[in-house]
Structure 1
Amino acid sequence: MRANYKLQRLYLDVPLSSGEAVVLGKEQAHYLLTVLRLDDGAEVLVFNGRDGEYGAVLRPQGKKTANLEIGAQTREQPPHSRLEFLFAPLKVGRLDYLVQKATEMGVSRITPVFTDHTQLHKVNAGRLAANILEAAEQCGNLAIPELGEATKLEALLANWDPARRIIFCNESQAGNNPAAVLSSVNERDLALLVGPEGGFSEREREILTNLPFVTPIPLGPRILRADTAAVAALTAVQMTIGDW
């Protein structure tokens, strides 16, 4: 069932079930009462990434606090996604965009990976997590991607479970269409790896292409920005072997 986009959606980090009452935190109460100016009895949708989505009714408790009365379940929790997203951090504005789009595309885990040409050498995990939640609220997703700890590419590969195949976006890969390569992938537990603005170094490409659990794919005839390449690759993977 598709999301209802007419009602405000709110992420709550508490167990959800019909008939329960949830006390909202200050920020969420302020958002509903002051920013959105919702009145007593207003209907919203709530989810926690585990129990599905529920309808709820707003019950203000004064001007700054409020409760939500949890009603009937509107959507069941979908199966867990099998696609992880590994990416080299970009400049802040584009980094926010990239994390939001990966959430919208339904990945299960988002992990920043530092490569030889990565321009950003640390990330604000709190900001990334906030972007993930905001994107999930706005796009109707019920699953919240986990945020993996930022790591160097070599460390990631050294500790990788070979049962999960990595789809490696290789700008030097021969060919223009990734569909033929992707259609030959048999595994369903996958990860997509996208590099930084300057691409992967020759050293990194050699390491990746020699690993048995890595499958390189071409990115087409055009030169794409890293964030554009990531969205295009996520679309290709989800349409070919994912949960489109």
Structure 2
Amino acid sequence: MAPPSFFIRIFRIALITVVHAIPAPYWSPEPSEQPPTTAKLEVCPYPHPSSGVVEKPITPNPHVLDLNTADDLINNLCAEIILIFARGTGNPGNIGVSLGYPLFEAMRDGLNQTVIAQGVLPYPAKAIGYLKGGSTEGVDSMVTLTYKARCQCPNSGLVLAGFSQGAQVLRRTISYLPAPLADRVVAVLSFSDSKFPRPLPKPWDTKHISLCQKMDWICDEEYTALNGRHYSALYIPFLGVVVEQLRERIRLMQEGRRKKSDEREGEDFCNFRVSHAS
């Protein structure tokens, strides 16, 4: 007969599957009347981790618009700061209205720099992806978008972020990014990371901001799906602190901004090749 721990594990997996199949409650902010200041740049080649070469460009998500979706980067925009966000399981669009858009809005309103946002796509954000440690398709897409941002907008600072399964995708993405790219990353933001508080490997550990709301049973080991809670709007109260952290990190990045060889690095990133996320 199987040990009790086996049945407990099966029960937990079943709960995760059911809970992640339920859409998170929405947070509906008033849309800003004035869009962020951006400048269009010509698209440059960028690698796709699945194949090593780009066969076709990423296209915007046609299904959900408005606050659920952010496609600034793939629409060839640039700004001083670029947010790339991987949403949680079941969240709509490609950025999700419950946390992705509020984070973007908080950054846009709270930073002194211009800000654009891009949701990770294609990325199904289904429960099976969470159970596998994060969607492989989502990882492929987030790696691709990060390279695109670095190539298309070589002078921009990047903020890579993810919630729940998106935090899993983010962790896996980091493992495919070369260390020199960290010089242009302002921060790596994890919300409700199932591996909290495990740090990221160097040099990404110094960029990492990982947030776990008390009683969030995905990241708080003291709770389970039976007595805890888990939805992205729990993290909205943290956004003011997050923006303060970003403001300081941007200042430090500007003070230490390096090198005359930076433009050449941008070209190298455009031609970089990575292996398939597995």
What range describes the TM-score normalised by the shorter chain of this pair?
0.3 to 0.5
Structure showing greater Rg: 1
The structure richer in helix per residue is: 2
What TM-score, normalized to structure 1?
0.34
TM-score (normalizing by structure 2): 0.31
Higher RCO, Cα 8 Å, sep 6+? 2
Q: Which of the two has greater strand per residue?
A: 1
